[in-house]
Structure formats: C-alpha cells, structure tokens
Chain A
Amino acid sequence: MPNITGVSAVDELSGPERHGPPQGNRASTGRLGDRIFSGTARGAGILVIAIVTLVGVFLLSQAIPALAKDKVNFLTSTQWNVDATPLQFGIANLLWVTVLSSALAMVVAVPLGIGVALFITQYAPRWLRGPAASLVDLLAAVPSIVYGLWGLQVLGTHMDGIQGFLIKIFGRLPLFQDAGVAAASTILTVAVVLAIMVLPIVTALSREVFAQTPTTNMEAALALGATRWEMIRTAVLPFGKPGVISASMLGLGRALGETVAVTVILSALAGSAPWSWSMFNGGETFASKIANNAAEFDSPQKAGAFMAAGLVLFGLTFIVNAVARAVINRRKAFVE
C-alpha cells in the first residue's frame, strides 16, 4: 500500500525553506574589514576541523605504543592487567557490557519514546501538547551524576522484585542467569536509567518528524474511512520512520558514551570474575572503565591502554552517529 503510506510525499518534500545568502562574493567588496571578518570566520571553521583531527591523532598516538606491547588479543581477551609487566588488556568484557546495557536501554526507550511522541502530536488535547513536550524535555536537564545517584540509591532499592521475577521466569537462559550481584548495581538497573536518559532525545526528534506529516496525507487516510490508529499506522508512522530511526541512533550514541551514571551504578567486578552473559551481572563499560581508573594514568603505558579503550568508544559512537546522519540525509524526511 505504498500509495497511502506517505512514501512519495517524503520524496517530494523540498526540505527546509532556504533563506541562504546570495551565492559567491557578489556582496563582498574586498575591503580590509571584509577580509579580516571572513578570514576569522573561516579560521573558526578550520579550528573545528583541527580539533576533531587532533582528538583522533592524539588518542591514536598514545594508544598505539600500548597496543604494540599488548600480549593478548585486544579485541577478544577479557583480561585487563595494565600493571602486569607483560601488558595484558582486552576489551571483550567492556564491549559486551557497553553494548548490552545500551541495547536494553533502547528496547525500553524507543517504543516508549515513539508512544510519547505520538501522544504529544496526535492524541493529547491541544492545551496539553506544549506542557507535555516541556515536561519530557525536562528529563534532559537532569545531570547525569544525579541520574546515577538516584539510580543507585532510589531506583536500585526497588529492582530486587523485578530481578527476582525475571530470574524466576527466564532463569534458564544465559541472559537472565542470577550472577550474585546486588540488584541495585546490575547492568539491568543501568539500562533502565540509560533508557530514562535517552527518552527525551528519542521523543524530541520523533515528535518533530511526526508533526511534519503532511496534513493532506492524514486527511486522505481519514477520508478513506481509517480510524485514528489506522491513520497513524498508514500515514504518520511511515512518514516518520527515517526520523525515528535516526532519533534512536542518536539516543544509542548517547547511551554508549554515558559515563557517570554508569560509573556510579554499576558494580565493577574483580578481574578474576568469570565471564557471564547475564544482565544481572556487574561489570564496566568503556566509559566507566576509564572513569573508574582516572587515578591510574600515571605511566604512558597504562594511560595508553585506556586511550585504546576510549578510541574504540569513539569509533562506536562515530559509526552509530554516522548511520543516523546517513538515514536523515538519504530520506530528507525532517529538518534538524
């Protein structure tokens, strides 16, 4: 049913109304002031390029010597002994905990975010729309350390029941095995807090795309006898799909890189802890590993190992953000 899904409308949308300035240098007279001003502006742009390049170069230059001395496979090893004389560090544990916590967070945040966005744009009474949007945005104003504090000391005390319930039902699966970590400090608790943290991002962007659904598409669906839910399914959701995907990716990027809330909540395991797939386990993400060991950067070798972890995190968030951007650009469904 592509004819009523709004796909064609997306492609015909001309994007934002362009108010671009006149092309070329027509307006510039080449006076001294002009040259200084345009030079400063271009300089600022080049400075931004330089900064990003330097971030990559510096992290690489410090990570490579440490990686060269690494005696175990960096990608598959679960060891992290940066004090040992034959340097041994691998990111398998960090990668798993990072990906698992973020993925669980997205499982909660994306459907909820879409629901809230649909509520605000389609279901809420008019007087409630503005306040409802501001309230959800307020979640973004809470600092991450406060999320961490709240997650550990308030939310965490209520996680026992949920954890026990899940273990009772799914306990046979490796993902749900009891790992003997206090319920307040598990990957699951972190995931719930991360979900709350990315909810405003997913909601705000989804809301924006849903609000841009052409009224004609919606009216056409209604005129064909669709109920409001059918209208949303056939007109609003297909139109908003690329926007929702990129909103989710941006949220995922945020969840992957979140540091302090994770550091506060998650209980770091001893180095000898056995590998576990469980979401009730503790552990460390890339970001919390770096933050937990900030005091240990005393030798270039140790610092290099953490830089290598930071570099992988940088790469991960870069890929996720790039996918988000690609989705937006390919289907110019919404204006940022």
Chain B
Amino acid sequence: MTAADVTSDSNLAALRPPASNAGFSHRSRSRALRNLVARVVMWLAFLIALVPLVWILWSVVTKGGALLLNSTWWTNSQRGITDRMVGGGAAHAIEGTLIEALATAVMAVPIGVMTAIYLVEYGRGRLANIVSFMVDILTGIPSIVAALFIYAVWVTTFGFQRVGFAVCLALVLLMIPVIVRSTEEMLKLVHNDLREASYALGVPKWKTIARVVVPTAFSGIITGILLGLARIMGETAPLLILGPYTKDIATDIFGGLVPTLPTMINQDRTEVLQPAVDRVWGAAMTLILIILLLNIAGRLVSRLGAPKT
C-alpha cells in the first residue's frame, strides 16, 4: 500500500524537532507523542492476542502430546479401561468423529451447494431474498438451539432414541449456512463471459452451470466444504444433548451410541486421576490436530486452484 510507505517518511519527520520543518508540516511534540503511543498500543494489542493462542497450544501439547506418540492411541478404543489404568486409545472417538462428519457432509453439501446455485444463478425476486435471509438466520443459530430443535423433532415428536444420526441432523443445520455462503462467493467470482460463451455455443443453462460454472469454482467450493467440516467437528453442544458417549468402537450411526472426540473429552473432564486427565488432554490435542489439518487442506486447495477466470 503506497499510503503506508508515505507514512513511514512522515513519521520520521514527526520525530524531528518542529523547528526543522516549519510551515505546512509543523508538528507539535504532543501529536508526535500520540502517534508513537498509538503505534505501541497496536503492537501490544497484537502481542496480547497471541498470548492465549500460544498458551492454549502449549497447554494442550504439554499435557496431551505424549499420548499421541504411542501407536495404541490411534488403534485402540477405551474398552475396559478405567480411570486408574494407563492405556487404551482414541480410535473409537476418532472414527466416530470422522463418520459423523462424513454423514453430515453427505446431507449438508448437496443442499448447501444447490441453495448457493439457486441464489446466484436462478434466484430473483422475493423468494431469493427470503432464502438469503433464512441462510443469515441459520448462520446465527446457536448450536444448542439447533440441538434442541432436533431433540424436539427426533425424540419428543417421533419418539426415536438418541443416536448418532440425530447428531448429524443437528450438525447439518450448522453446516448448511457455511457452505451456502462460501459457495455463493465462489460462484459470483466466475466471470459472466464464460457463461455467455457457453450459451452462445447453444449449451443449455443447466449444463452451463454443471459443466462450466461449478468446475471453474470447484476448488473454492471444496475449500468451503473443508472449512465447514472443521467447524462442525469441534461442535460439542449437539453431542451433549443427542449423542451420549461410549467407550467401545461403534460406527453404526443409526444403531445407537457413537463416541466422538468432544464427548470423550466431556466424559472425563471432571476426573482427577492422572491417567484419565492425560487422556482428556490427548483427545483435545487430537481434535485440534484434525481440525488444523482440515484448515490447512482448505487453504492449500484454495491456493492451488484459485478460480480460473
């Protein structure tokens, strides 16, 4: 930014005694001082913001990192492991987390992407405005309210059991708006010339969207999906209400309890015995690692395949 370069010069001027630059650029000592104070405050703000980040990562790594180096952490479940015993792993929770995230994505991605296509390519008039407004509301829904809603439908109204699938339904509500907004943004970036060129060749509109517009924006859409996945994997509130924990490997989301990393943390968070405490922090570290990997993957995809415009 050119403005910034200009300022660094004027700052030097500001620090010089006022006599040396009389006339237009006269600067009093107090103005220069205020300028300096502002600069220090901004640097401090940034450094203060880094404190919790470093502190949290440090706590998680030092308290839970050691467990992750053990291969049984990635292969075993907690079956038969009690608070006093060292050992066992988080394989059941990792699997459960991934399966639920996948099931959620299978439902949320088509709805989200199609809604975005509707808003960008088709939507005109009242209906489109209402849809857009509703997506905004969905963005702001607290996760506990989404969970309550699914509870009201799934358990109270239909009388089903609390199962993994109900959790997925609640997560779908939270994932849809993320996908709609990111996909929408990417579709808007696709140049109109591409669409018009396609029409000029006699390609119908639906084929233009499916073969030209979506492929052009594809990497951006994938990034949005990965970031959406990262967001819902860390959600715990729906799990508290709809997805009780179990220590065994359980992958049937319709059949009953599916253990996940957040519920694994929640289950033992009040423990005082060291082996259990270690496992809680180990699970926290594992969860952060998975979410971090998804974030990095999302950024890589968007960097490698920026929309070809």
Chain A residues near B (Cβ < 8 Å):
16, 19-24, 26-29, 31, 33-34, 36-38, 40-49, 51-52, 54-55, 58-59, 61-62, 111-112, 115-116, 118-120, 122-124, 132, 135-136, 138-139, 141-150, 152, 154-155, 196, 199, 203, 215, 218-219, 222, 225, 227-232, 250, 253, 256-260, 263-264, 286-287, 290-291, 294, 297, 300, 303, 306-307, 310, 313-314, 317-318, 320-321, 325, 336
Contact = CB atoms under 8 A, between A and B. Distances in A.
Interface string B136-174: 111111111110110111011100000000000000010
Nearest to B207: A33
16 contacts: A22-B196, A27-B204, A33-B207, A45-B119, A45-B128, A59-B149, A115-B44, A118-B45, A219-B3, A219-B6, A227-B10, A227-B14, A227-B32, A291-B237, A303-B152, A317-B142
A250 B140 CA distance: 8
B145 A314 contact: yes
Contacts of A231: 3, 7
Interface size class, chain B: 35 or more
B192 A227 contact: no
A314 B142 contact: yes
Contacts, number: 316
Contact of A49 (B24, B134, B152): B134
A161 to B, nearest CB: 16
Majority DSSP secondary structure for residues of B touching A: helix
B52 interface: yes
A41 B142 contact: no
Given A43-B114, A219-B3, 19 more contacts: A21-B192, A28-B205, A38-B122, A41-B117, A42-B127, A45-B123, A48-B176, A115-B44, A118-B42, A136-B53, A138-B53, A142-B291, A146-B60, A228-B35, A231-B3, A297-B151, A300-B156, A303-B151, A313-B142
Contacts of B221: none
B233 A143 contact: yes
B142 A228 contact: no
Contacts of B188: 16, 19-20
Contacts of B274: none
A307 B241 CA distance: 13
Given A29-B205, A257-B142, A144 B241 contact: no
A249 to B, nearest CB: 10
B145 A257 contact: yes
Interface string B102-113: 000000001110
A135 B50 contact: yes
Nearest to B290: A143
